[in-house]
Structure 1
Amino acid sequence: MRVRVGGAVLLERAWGVVDRRWQRPLTLDDRLPMASGSKGFTALAVLSLVADGTLTLATTARSLLGDDLPAVPEDVTVEHLLTHTSGLADAIDDDADEDAYLLDVPVHSLVSPEDYLGVLEACVPQRPPGPPLEYRNAAFVLLSLLAQRASGVRFHDLVRERVLRPAGMTRTDFLRSDELPPDAAVGYVRVGDAWRSHVLHLPVVGGGDGGAYTTAADMERFWDALLAGRVVPPALVAEATTPHATTADGAYAYGLGLWLPPWAPGVVQLEGEDAGVSFWSAHRAAVPGGAPEVTATVAGTTAGAAWPVERAVRTVLGMRGV
């Protein structure tokens, strides 16, 4: 956990262990998984291709899919996918129990976006594209495939070159869960009376829908670089941080790959929860003559570990709305 207020680090703390087998204490420099928190990286990699003219928000998925995934309609665009308004069904059940084995393909085979073509066959239209916001993991897997095909650059390298490097995020990357370095924490799932590694629950390498590893300090660098226009041009930053769609009940709003909670004006955030992962990172700009800038990140190695801390941080810092 790390909290910065008005440019000064107010609180920085790590607790727990990197790996339950060896009981090494977790440190502030250890990398933790992000789950869907890294959807923002996918979105910005795509927006960088918009910035250089390789893609537009109106580019259709169909124009890059060729004969693949014939169920994806002709009118689903990059913007629809970025805003969770594609109208497509999801390929992964986001509401399943945390100890469920969600993927019916070998997880070790899911490395490149092209490896997900069989999984994405489940992306059939449920309604015409357009609002309301209906969260879909598969939309961001599909975006990673489109970005890779449009750019000719492997998706993970594209994120490294277009997002992580400009942001100075030297402690963030897509790591293989079956060969984690010593400074990367293992996620755990409670199955009956045992804690098990999440290695069999998720793709062996994170993809377009999430799964990178990071540190709280690196996320601070991310927000600073993004909002300063060092990742994509300021006009696209403004576009990404403007609400494009809300859920039918109005409780959640989304820009282009970023959550914009209606109940917390001025806050932009990324978050994720998966088997063995919970993650939240948010930024609130300073209000002239009022509240200071706030940047905060909380991550945990179980599906529920981060949320009590996240709620406390929001409450103390006044990020729960007005």
Structure 2
Amino acid sequence: MGWEDVERIAEETGFSGVVRVDRGDETVFERAYGFADRAHGVPNTAGTRFGIASGGKGFTALTVLSLVRDGTLGLGTTARELLGDDLPLISGDVTVEHLLAHTSGIGDYLDEEAGWDVEDYLVGAAHLLTTTEAFLPLLDGHAAKFRAGERFGYCNSGYVVLALLAERASGRGFHALVHERVLEPFGLTGTGFPRSDELPGDAAVGYLEGQDRTNVFHLPVLGNGDGGIYTTAADMTRFWRALFDSDLAAEATRPRNHVPEESLRYGLGFWLHETTDTVILAGYDPGVSFKSWYDPHTGTVATALANTSSGAWPVARALPS
């Protein structure tokens, strides 16, 4: 497919978002479509910030891996060592590595394996979820699905638990850790955790599919370890370049599991192409869809960001793989 196909698909589907492709140091395609704020007629621009849902798990993984590198945590550190009496249904042999690789088997507050409608109300009192500790009641009471290390099982709870472990091991809040250990060293000035009920003027409001209703009641008011960070297309290009210039890439992108139902593999926080070295982040939430990938051999970065629940997928399929 060519760029004219991207333009055609964007028009046919009413795509609202930003698409960008870089090869080496050259931006070969960049377009913005639709509105960041429909009520006020604010258009999306190349610099608009979008939520990336589970794409944020890559940022969480790198934050945790930086703590492992520095000796604050270990991949073999058990969750129980830092949880104490909290979340008693998490088995004593679940480790940081199990949580990063989605092989912990712990119960999930948002169980995607059980089937779910992306636009359901699933997080309860969304406005209370402003800290990692505030997630504890949401994470509690979910029985384990399998023994630690037995198989791959995608788990949102696991990444909030990782944020909690990172906080307790370091004595720093999760959002500050992400800023200090990933955003600042990677030069990601357009990336961060705004509250959904006070988005800055350059951030896109998320809209439910086919509606003008926003996603403000559907997601935690402040993103956490399992997702919710906002970023720009340009920052995603910077992110991939900085990651592969860092000492964290090898551990994060080493394949841990084959996931045949997705025709992908998984590392620690990152999806991996089934047969090549392309590394992928993706996210899907009410009013959010996102995919970005990087080919370390050609230096190609492709990113599709949308402020609707599934708008990114048709244009992402038209981008170079």
TM-score between the two structures when normalised by the length of structure 1: 0.91
1:88 partnered with 2:106: yes
Matched residue, 1:302: 308
2: distance between equivalents of 1:200 and 1:36? 18
Name structure 2 gaps, 5 residues minimum. Answer: 1-18
Tell me if structure 2 keeps the 8 A contact 1:241–1:255: yes
Aligned ranges 1:153-168 → 2 under 5 Å: 153-168=172-187
SS at match of 1:217: helix
1:266 partnered with 2:277: yes
Tell me if structure 2 keeps the 8 A contact 1:31–1:184: yes
Aligned ranges 1:157-306 → 2 under 5 Å: 157-190=176-209, 194-229=211-246, 233=247, 236-247=248-259, 249=261, 251-263=263-275, 265-286=276-297, 292-306=298-312
SS at match of 1:197: coil
Q: Deviations over 1:155-212 (max 9, x none)?
A: 000000000000000000001000001110000114xx74210000000000100001
Matched residue, 1:289: none
Tell me if structure 2 keeps the 8 A contact 1:93–1:102: no
- Alpha-carbon shift at residue 248 of structure 1 (Å): 5.7
Aligned residues: 301
1:135 partnered with 2:146: no
Q: Deviations over 1:268-306 (max 9, x none)?
A: 0110000000001110012xxxxx321111110111110
1: distance between equivalents of 2:309 and 2:251? 31
Do the aligned partners of residues 197 and 224 (structure 1) sit closer, same or farther apart at CA in structure 2, a change above 3 Å counting? Answer: same
Tell me if structure 1 keeps the 8 A contact 2:111–2:155: no
SS at match of 1:11: strand
Name structure 1 gaps, 5 residues minimum. Answer: 287-291
Matched residue, 2:93: 75
* Paired-residue identity, %: 51
Tell me if structure 2 keeps the 8 A contact 1:269–1:283: yes
Instruction: Output the aligned Cα RMSD.
Output: 1.3
Matched residue, 2:78: 60
2: distance between equivalents of 1:47 and 1:146? 12
Which range moves more in the overlay, 168-177 or 117-126? 117-126
Q: Deviations over 1:25-79 (max 9, x none)?
A: 1111110111000110100100010011000000000000001111111100000
- Alpha-carbon shift at residue 250 of structure 1 (Å): 7.4
